Amino acid sequence: METVSQKIADFAVQLTYEDLPEEIVQTTKRFLLDTLGCAFGGYKSEDSKIALEVLREMGGNAEATIIGSGEKTSAVNASLANSLMVRAMDYNDIYWKQDPSHPSDLIPAVLAMAEKNGKSGKDVIVGIVLAYEFEMRLCEFAIPGIRERKWHHATLTQFAAPVAAGKLLDLSVEQMTHAIGISGCHNFTPGAVTAGKLTMMKNTVDPMAVQSGVFAAQLAQKGYRGPEAIFEGKEGFIDVFGGKFDPDRLTRNLGKPFRILECSMKAFPTEALTHSPITAALDLVHEEKVTPERVRKITVHTIERAKDILADPSKYRPDTKETADHSLPYVIAAAVAEGRITPEEFSPEKLKDEKILALLPKIEVVADPDLEKVFPELKAAIVEIETNDGRTVRKRVDYPKGDYRSPMSEEELLIKFTSLAGPVFSPHKQKAIEDTVWHLEEISMASDLMKLFISDKE
């Protein structure tokens, strides 16, 4: 009988570009462009700079391009560096069922392995589709999700990354099965990275799992072996974690339809469960003309897990970007004070802005049982603002802009992309990147794509 890993590997090995409907190809390009924008925005982040400095000291074969600088290093380390850039601003995509994830964290693994192995744009598209298919399915099979059991979702990424990387290595079913087992043995991440005061590790654990998947795929290619039943076997993932799992969700009706169609983009550079409250708060600011000096109290209705991870005491006086973008009180205060939420709202200056800080004690976050009932199908939130003149205004949002049911238009996507790419690339270079992504299937060598990602504004 086939193991779960063997079923996953069999589908991944057999999938070809010709199997993909046009809608899937175009959706994949949209997510690639969004991901590149996030990487360009994160290129100059402090955590990316530190990681790149260490990787330079480590050295490595010139196999794959590091985004922004254009330096070459091993595919393993390029995957880490580039994935960290994607995550640095917490602006990349989101999928949330039983567990959350950011499937685009895996795209740098696809790009690095495609460049290393002389693959085409079509190969890149297939690799991305597979990355999304399994990263997203992994968010569905633990009931409740592993996040509810105090584990971070990078624990799941360790199983999807070797599939994406292995596809670009042309692994056999047997080799890919071993790659999943190799990677799936050593990347179990505690939820501490997103609890309380947050650090740079909040952005780094998923890229590290991606890096591990690339390394595992390369080991498997050379004959290294890992557990073939890493999911369902004795003392495997399911056995160790305990509780309820539905492993059939990992392999049932693969590609029917492809999961990437249900992934959402982020309109704000913040934790996913803040997006509906932010949208509601901004609507009230603009529709009801609410100004910060008129606010008496703000009540945010959300689900219990959002209150738990986004409104604990440390979130009421965030002193790091990582804590602020995971602070529901802070993002609501910033939305009301500034009338927007952009990367600028998380600068060191804004974290000390008295206009924002003065609102924090006025914000109460409550867990609403009615919203709990509709989650995760709806990411609903309610924001109520009481003003000093006795008026109360209220707004409910069931899913924010960027949700796959309320997708960003091409114009909105390009606005996001250019705002993030602007500090790193000239308008001419930005246009060249956009055009190449929209015609990715015409690229014969992934290295031609990666050459475009070298900053011309250094």
Q: What's domain 4-262's architecture?
A: Orthogonal Bundle (1.10)
The mean pLDDT value for 203-229 works out to 98
* Residues 280-332: tens digit of each pLDDT: 999 999 999 999 999 999 999 999 999 999 999 999 999 999 999 999 999 99
Q: How far is Cα 86 from Cα 84, in angstroms, rounded to an integer?
A: 5
In 3D space, the residue among 223, 217, 180, 197 whose CA is nearest the CA of residue 4 turns out to be 180
| pLDDT tens digits along 392-405 | 999 999 999 899 99
Q: How confident is the model at residue 196 (pLDDT cuts 50, 70, 90)?
A: confident
Average pLDDT over residues 253-280: 97
Half-sphere exposure of 191 (CA within 13 A, CB side): 14
15 and 130 Cβ atoms separated by less than 8 Å: yes
Burial class (CB in 10 A: 0-12, 13-18, 19+), 283: middle
- Determine the Cα–Cα distance for residues 42 and 48; give it in Å rounded to an integer: 7
Can you read off the two tokens belonging to residue 127?
Answer: 């690799």
Per-residue tokens: 344 = 């600028």
Q: What pLDDT, on a 0 to 100 scale, did the predictor assign at position 192?
A: 96
Locate CATH 3.30.1330.120 in the chain: 272-397
Provide the CA 46 distance to its chain's centre, in angstroms.
19
Contact between 83 and 214 (Cβ < 8 Å): no
3-class SS at 4?
Answer: helix
Q: How confident is the model at residue 20 (pLDDT cuts 50, 70, 90)?
A: very high
- For the chain, the straight-line distance linking the first and the last C-alpha, in angstroms and rounded, comes to 55
Span 99-150, pLDDT tens digits: 999 999 999 999 999 999 999 999 999 999 999 999 999 999 999 999 999 9
Q: Are the beta carbons of 55 and 73 closer than 8 angstroms?
A: yes
Cβ contact 330:315 at 8 Å: yes
Across 84-94, average pLDDT: 97
Residue 238, phi then psi, degrees to nearest 5: -65, -45
Distances (CA, A) of 340 to 158, 280, 285, 326: 35, 12, 9, 16
Please give, one letter per residue, the 3-state secondary structure of 354-397.
Answer: HHHHCCHHHEEEEECHHHHHHCCCCCCEEEEEEECCCCEEEEEE
**Every domain range in the chain assigned CATH 1.10.4100.10:** 4-262
Helix 46-58, helix 75-87: angle, nearest 10: 170
CATH of domain 272-397: 3.30.1330.120
Q: How far apart are CA 361 and CA 66, in angstroms?
A: 43
Residue 458 has pLDDT above 80, yes or no: no
Instruction: Give the pLDDT score at 1.
Output: 87
Backbone conformation region of residue 81, classed left if phi is above 0, alpha if psi is from -120 to 50, else beta: alpha
- Strands 244-245 and 142-143, sheet pairing: antiparallel
Please give the share of the chain, as a percent, with pLDDT higher than 90. 98
- pLDDT surpassing 80 at residue 164: yes
Confidence (pLDDT) at 359: 98
Average pLDDT over residues 437-457: 97
Percent of the chain scored above 70 by pLDDT? 100
Q: How far, in Å, CA of 60 to CA of 157, rounded?
A: 24
CA dist 133 and 5 (Å) reads 14
For residue 184, the model assigns a pLDDT of 98
SS3 64: strand
Residue 349 CA neighbour count, 13 Å, CB half: 2
Alpha-carbon 66 to chain mean position: 19
Secondary structure of residue 142 in the 3-state scheme: strand
**Cα–Cα dist 260/295, whole Å:** 41
Which residues are within 8 A (CB) of 65 and not within 5 positions of it... i.e. 6 or more apart?
A: 71, 72, 78, 115, 447, 450, 451, 453, 454
pLDDT in the model for residue 457 = 84
Structure tokens at 39: 């990487």
Residue 450 pLDDT: 98
| pLDDT tens digits, one per residue of 359-414 | 999 999 999 999 999 999 999 999 999 999 999 999 999 999 899 999 999 999 99
Q: Supply the mean pLDDT for the chain.
A: 97
Contact status, residue 167 vs residue 192, Cβ threshold 8 Å: no
**What's the average model confidence in pLDDT over 70-97?**
97
**What pLDDT sits at residue 397?**
97
Phi and psi at residue 94, in whole multiples of 5°?
Answer: -150, 135
